[in-house]
Chains A and B, each alone.
Chain A
Amino acid sequence: MDLIAVVQILDSTLRLATPLLFAALAGLISERAGVFDIGLEGKMLAAAFFSAAFAFTTGNVWLGLCAGIIASMFLSLIHGVASITFRGNQLISGVAINFLAAGLTVVIAQNWFRQGGRTPTLVGDARFPRLTLPGAEAVRDVPVLGPFYSVILSGHSILVYVGLLCVPLVWYGLFRTRFGLRLRAVGENPAAVDTAGISVVGMRYGAVMICGVLCGLAGAYLATGLSAGFVKDMTAGRGFIALAAMIFAKWRPWHALGAVLLFGLLEAIANRYQNIDLGFMVLPAQFMQALPYILTVVILAGFVGRAIPPRAGGEPYVKER
């Protein structure tokens, strides 16, 4: 493995980690407020389709992004109505949302574009262009720092940088603001928050809708940044890898960044090499694909540091009468 290969792998690591990052932060906010969300996958998928469809029809990727976010927020609203207002099972609601997105995207795509459940390929302004960071050309020939800055960090679509920016934003919002304190309290002890005169329902809806926005960004990046258009089931389990990353990070934003970079790296390596020869044994590509899930099971089982979810997670809040 030479240096160029390493740089290329790290470059695609950042690219592949971005949708996971948005979705992991989305899940983190929702679950911190006590609403389990296994519907990340479905929301990403819906956002991917609607962003690609609107970007293609209007020729403007920003309109596409808005459409994707609205679609994702609509599914979030369903999740909120089911799990907050009607106190339904949050996990079942998540499953339903995943299937709703998987089915509706193909049905609508077939109806609008008649290309077998995909959108036409996006070109030009219908995709996010690659940005060159200031000074990237100037430092290109500096050893180590040059390739790191001008190849790995520079040259991505704007959403990659938005994603990286979201990490400190979410951290600050959750741990340094009043809203964040209340949000976390709603996930740990909603009765106490209610006693303080703050609406548990309102806080939870807020968290679920923010989750929708972030999932929308994840899906829009997938269809208009990472690839050029929507294809059937294009999320391919990324929503669940993001869920795994969130648990792996034990519901903490900075750790989530670390987790998605690790899982992005695994995906980048698996994309580049079919099998990895370690000398004494060969790791098959399938093992690399399964590794995020295996790691999550291990961390959930508490064999390597224990992951404890927010205490009131998954429990609908019933005000005492």
Chain B
Amino acid sequence: MSDRRIPHWADVVLVPLTSVLLAFIISAIVIWAIGEDPWEATKLMVQGAFGSSYGWGYTLYYATNFIFTGLAVAVAFQAKLFNIGGEGQATMGGLGVAMVCLYLPWPHWSMALVAAAFGAALFGAAWAAIPGYLQVRRGSHIVITTIMFNFIAAALLNYLLVNVMRPAGSMDPASARFPPEVRLPRLHEILDVFGIPFSTATPANISFLVAVAACFVVWYMLWRTRLGYQIRAFGQSEPAAQYAGISPFRITMYVMLISGALAGMMAINNVMGEANRLLLNAVEGAGFIGIAVALMGRNHPFGVFLAAVLFGFLYQGGAELALWTTIPRELIVVIQALVILFTGALDNMVRMPIAALFARRRRS
């Protein structure tokens, strides 16, 4: 097996980049097969996502969602737990945000933001804690339970919006609008303070900064604290960790609570920052994109940040593409699937030739 070793830089940079490149090549073939020009499509996407401050605003808005859900999946992956329930946890987080914003009076947005983030984290963590508990104490597989909890969360939110939270006389299944006091400052208002002009029409808001801060906190937690060390040890080898006195129950619960809290906190961006009310299906698949983001980012907060911005670009670029060409938005779902396939499931296929290459270089 010693021949299979590859340098660290190749492991964190070359392997993921090769995977993404493969995903993009196949996507380009798909675009070509449906009769569009892949090169033109790429130019259109880059132009749409990065060519104006309007594009940047949407790219960063989507990226904020993906940072939270990507960190959630990454933290769980560090402990070898596959939390596929980010979608449900973010849905429940939205419920937490809505309750904080609707049923409590707030004098200023900053206090509301802290409380809403706390509410979102609490609801998301609770929704992730049950599958975690069931795995360690009752032996049910966390992947299956978190999938089931996604569907249960969707049904619960549907019920609450239609029967409980919908304002009288309103037809669409959504909560009432939040009071104006809790409106979060948008990115253009923040940049205005520094005299930087930015598009006023985008939903990017202060949650982006919270997401960046969350990256630092998660990095510090994982690599600079005792708990983080235990989480990573547990993920490397459960028997070894147990032998060292690390309790599987404690680690699983902590990891799922942190993971669920991060997924839930996505709601301060989409529910509080953008929609200003709780909508049906507000998460829009961001919980699942977290899987792709975490895999691509190699479960490291910095990698997650980069991957989230890449997916933010794909989302905004994909929307532009759907607007100007015959390529539907679902192309992004295909790219997302290919990224998950190559960086996650076919990792060995990408890794083996690279490892062979390095082995040959070492020998010569």
A residues sitting closer than 8 Å to B (CB atoms) are 38, 78, 81-83, 86-93, 95-100, 102-104, 106-108, 110-111, 114, 117, 232, 237, 240, 243-244, 247, 284, 286-287, 289-290, 293-294, 296-297, 300-303, 306-307, 309
CB B273 to nearest CB in A, in angstroms, measures 26
Q: Which of B104-112, B135-143, B195-203, B212-220 contacts A (4 or more CB under 8 A)?
A: B135-143
Contact B152 A83, beta carbon cutoff 8 Å: no
B34 touches A107 (CB 8 A): yes
Given A38-B143, A93-B344, A240 and B138 contact (CB-CB distance below 8 Å): no
**Set B139, B326, B330, B341: member contacting A78, Cβ < 8 A:** B341
Across the interface, do B155 and A93 meet the contact criterion of CB distance under 8 Å?
no
Contacts of B326 in A (CB 8 A): 110-111, 114
Q: Which residues in window 139-159 of B have CB below 8 A to A?
A: 139-141, 143-145, 147-149, 151-152, 155-156, 158-159
Q: Can you give 18 A-B contacts (C-beta < 8 A)?
A: A92-B340, A95-B340, A96-B340, A96-B344, A97-B341, A99-B333, A99-B336, A99-B340, A100-B334, A103-B337, A110-B326, A110-B330, A286-B158, A293-B155, A297-B149, A297-B152, A300-B141, A300-B145
CA A106 – CA B328 in complex, angstroms? 8
A100 with B84: CB separation less than 8 A: no
Q: How far is the CA of A240 from the CA of B150 in the complex (A)?
A: 11
Task: Name which of B62-70, B263-271, B345-353 contacts chain A.
Answer: B345-353
Say yes or no for B291: interface residue by CB 8 A criterion. yes
Query: Are the C-beta atoms of A243 and B144 separated by less than 8 Å?
Result: yes
The reply to whether A103 and B330 form a contact with Cβ atoms under 8 Å apart is yes
Most buried by A among B82, B335, B345: B345
Contacting residues, chain A, for B159 (C-beta < 8 A): 284, 286-287
Interchain CA distance A38-B155 in the complex, whole Å: 21
Nearest-CB distance from A306 to chain B (Å)? 8
CA distance A156 to B144 in the complex (A): 32
Find the A residue at minimum CB distance from B153. Answer: A290
- CB within 8 Å for A38 and B147 given contacts A88-B346, A297-B140: yes
Closest Cβ neighbor of A300 among chain B residues: B140
B344 contacts A111, C-beta separation under 8 Å: no
Minimal Cβ-Cβ distance residue in A for B348: A86
Cβ contact within 8 Å between A91 and B82 = yes
Contact B345 A92 (CB under 8 A): yes
Q: Which residues of B contact A293 (CB under 8 A)?
A: 148-149, 151-152, 155
Q: Are B334 and A107 within 8 A (Cβ)? A: yes
Given A92-B291, A102-B330, decide whether A297 and B145 contact each other with a Cβ distance below 8 A. yes
CB atoms of B138 and A301 under 8 A apart: yes
Contacts of A232 in B (CB 8 A): 330
B6 in the interface (beta carbon within 8 A):
no
A92 engages B344 (CB within 8 Å): yes
**B151 x A240 contact (CB < 8 A):** yes
Query: Beta-carbon contacts of B158-190 to A below 8 Å, as 1s and 0s?
Result: 110011000000000000000000000000000
Distance (whole angstroms) from the CB of B137 to the closest CB of chain A: 9
A240-B163 Cα distance, complex, nearest whole Å: 26
Q: Which listed residue (A93, A244, A302) contacts B139, Cβ 8 A?
A: A302
B17 at the interface (CB under 8 A from A): no
Complex contact A297–B148 (CB within 8 A): yes
Chain A hits for B156, CB < 8 A: 286, 290
Chain B CB within 10 Å — which of A100, A110, A286 has the most?
A286
B336 and A244 form a contact (CB under 8 A): no
Q: Which residues of A contact B34 (CB under 8 A)?
A: 107-108, 110-111
B234 interfacial by beta-carbon distance below 8 Å: no
A87 B334 Cβ-Cβ under 8 A: no
Are B328 and A244 in contact, with the CB atoms below 8 A?
Answer: no
Chain B interface residue bracket vs A: 35 or more
A104 to B338, CA, bound (A): 11
A91 and B140: CB pair below 8 A? no
Closest residue on chain A to residue B329 by CB atoms: A106
| B351 to A, closest residue via Cβ | A86
Q: Is B246 an interface residue (CB 8 A)?
A: no
Least CB distance, B4 to chain A, in whole angstroms: 12
Contact of B134 with A by CB under 8 A: yes
CA distance in complex: A293, B34 (Å): 38
CB B252 to nearest CB in A, in angstroms, measures 15
Across-interface contacts of A290 in B (CB, < 8 A): 151-152, 155-156
Q: Once bound together, how far apart are the Cα atoms of A43 and B109, in whole Å? A: 46
Instruction: Verify B334–A104 contact, CB threshold 8 A.
Output: yes
Nearest A residue (CB) for B162: A286
Q: Cβ of A244: which chain B residues have Cβ within 8 Å of it? A: 148
Q: List A contacts of B44 (CB < 8 A).
A: none
- Most chain A CB neighbours (cut-off 10 Å) among B134, B341, B347: B341
B99 at the interface (CB under 8 A from A): no
Residue in B152, B327, B333, B341 whose CB lies within 8 Å of A294: B152
Residues of A within 8 A of B155 (CB): 286-287, 289-290, 293
Evaluate whether A302 and B328 lie within 8 angstroms (CB atoms) in the complex, with A88-B344, A240-B151 already known: no
Name the contact of B291 in the complex, choosing from A88, A95, A100, A297 (C-beta under 8 A): A95
Residues of A within 8 A of B82 (CB): 89, 91-92
Q: Once bound together, how far apart are the Cα atoms of A256 and B364, in whole Å? A: 58
Q: Which residues of A contact B245 (CB under 8 A)?
A: none
- Nearest-Cβ distance from residue A28 to partner chain B, whole angstroms: 14
CA gap between A159 and B332 in the complex, in Å:
34
Told that A97-B337, A100-B337, A293-B148 touch, could you supply 8 new A-B pairs with CB distance under 8 A? A81-B349, A92-B345, A93-B345, A100-B334, A297-B134, A297-B145, A297-B152, A301-B138
Q: Are B341 and A96 in contact (CB under 8 A)?
A: yes
Chain A residues with Cβ under 8 A from B158's Cβ? 286
Query: A88 and B347: CB pair below 8 A?
Result: yes
- Which residues does chain A contribute within 8 Å of B340, judged by CB atoms? 92, 95-96, 99
Identify the interface centre among B84, B327, B332, B344: most chain A CB within 10 Å of its CB.
B344
The 8 closest A-B pairs by CB, nearest first: A103-B333, A99-B337, A93-B345, A300-B140, A103-B334, A92-B344, A290-B155, A88-B345
Residues of chain A contacted by B148 (CB below 8 angstroms): 240, 244, 293-294, 296-297
CA distance A99 to B333 in the complex (A): 6
A296 to B147, CA, bound (A): 11
Most chain A CB within 10 A, of B143, B327, B337, is at: B337
| Residues B337 and A111 in contact, CB atoms below 8 Å apart | no
